[in-house]
Amino acid sequence: MTGRPKVLHVVGARPNFMKVAPVMEALAVRGLVQQRLIHTGQHSDERMADVFFRDLGLPRPDRDLGVGGGSQAEQTAALLVRIEEALEEERPDIVVVVGDVNSTLAASLVAAKAAIPIAHVEAGLRSFDLSMPEEINRIVTDRLASILLTPSRDADLNLRREGVPEEKIHFVGNVMIDTLRRHRERAPWPEVGARFGVEERRFAVLTLHRPGNVDEAATFSRILDRLEPVARKLPILFPVHPRTARRVAENGMEERVSFLKRTEPLGYLDFLALMDHAAIVLTDSGGVQEETTVLGVPCFTLRDNTERPVTIAQGTNTLVGADGRDLAAAFLEFERDGGKRGRAPEKWDGAAATRVAEVFERFLGLS
């Protein structure tokens, strides 16, 4: 139908899909805008992309830009060119970007120069660590966005401190948690436990993919040293991110990681089932810190900082250092008293995407 304003969503990598799905659904139910979905192809294979479209019921992308790997610069350059072509043809009224990946940054740069308003879902998060590519992406995207949709109060504060005008900041809550709440019951436990030979609360789940943790063999190896004592107590299931798999192969570390129960990256529902029934989760992922907080599963984050401090203050997250130096102490505490329980932060209630839709409709003069 023409005449309705056009909202165009840009996704590119695994952590984008679970954030855009509830927003598209909330807008579709309300029916006041037309929507377009562009998939940049930053992640494009079955395990990092296709399975999420199926698991989350995402519509098929209207455009698939097919921009694959390359260095940070090569990838960003290719994204800029292809997204510019797409936006020139689509001419949307709002471009929606989510999270902090290179596709988020590229779409923001292109949209800002074309004078198309940008809405950033998951705005305001800051690790204050510019050595992370994601932090650069967050800062630039927020600087260019007209609608900044924040998941937590700390994000509002960060934006205010950076001088973002109050009227651009909208505390809507966490859309990724909308997805988790919607799909938790469907997650296939105990089947997935049986598939991997693990029992309820008698295993750990590990994800590792931050460049700072896995790119250098020496750093990665130090982390593995810290994980070995945990693995003697609990089997550690490790769905290996493609970047990490590449590093393991390049650095000849196959033998070194053999004490971990490795698998291919998992689909959303399988991975959710595992997190929900694990004893603990070990990770350097952003999203996993949030999901474990809502699931009430202790999460040990292999980083020195986090852009999601609410998961530490209110949730189940503990920072154990990028090299895992505090893991032994944290694990001991878990063995002693079961670890942090935590509670869901404000507006992590399953209705964040509806609030996003309301903000868009006001912005577009529809309500």
- Tell whether residue 265 is a contact of ligand UDP (CB under 6 A): yes
325, 304 Cβ separation under 8 angstroms: no
Active site residue 9: no
74, 98 Cβ separation under 8 angstroms: no
Q: What CA–CA distance (Å, rounded) separates 302 from 257? A: 16
Pick the stretch among 139-147, 263-271, 304-312, 350-358 that binds ligand UDP (CB under 6 A).
263-271
353, 180 Cβ separation under 8 angstroms: no
- State which residue, 86 or 125, has the beta carbon closest to ligand UDP: 125
**What's the sign of the alpha-carbon dihedral 347, 174, 20, 178?**
negative
**Nearest approach, Cβ of residue 253 and ligand UDP (Å):** 19
**Nearest approach, Cβ of residue 286 and ligand UDP (Å):** 4
**Nearest approach, Cβ of residue 360 and ligand UDP (Å):** 23
Strand ranges inside 23-135, DSSP E: 34-39, 63-64, 94-98, 118-121
- Tell whether residue 14 is a contact of ligand UDP (CB under 6 A): yes
Interface with ligand UDP (CB under 6 A), residue total 14
Q: What CA–CA distance (Å, rounded) separates 207 from 218? A: 18
Name the strands in the sheet holding 280-283, side by side, starting at the edge strand that comes first in the sequence. 261-263, 236-239, 204-207, 280-283, 299-301, 317-319
- Tell whether residue 22 is a contact of ligand UDP (CB under 6 A): no
- State which residue, 154 or 270, has the beta carbon closest to ligand UDP: 270
| C-alpha dist (Å) from residue 202 to 9, 22, 190, 196, 281 | 40, 32, 13, 12, 12
CA 51: distance to chain centroid? 16
The correct pick among 148, 208, 266, 322 for binding ligand UDP (CB under 6 A) is 266
The correct pick among 22, 92, 235, 239 for binding ligand UDP (CB under 6 A) is 239
**Nearest approach, Cβ of residue 47 and ligand UDP (Å):** 8
Which member of 39, 209, 241, 277 is catalytic? 209
- State which residue, 5 or 69, has the beta carbon closest to ligand UDP: 69
Which stretches of the chain bind ligand UDP, using CB under 6 A?
Answer: 14-15, 18, 207, 239, 265-266, 268, 271, 285-288, 291
Active site amino acids: 209
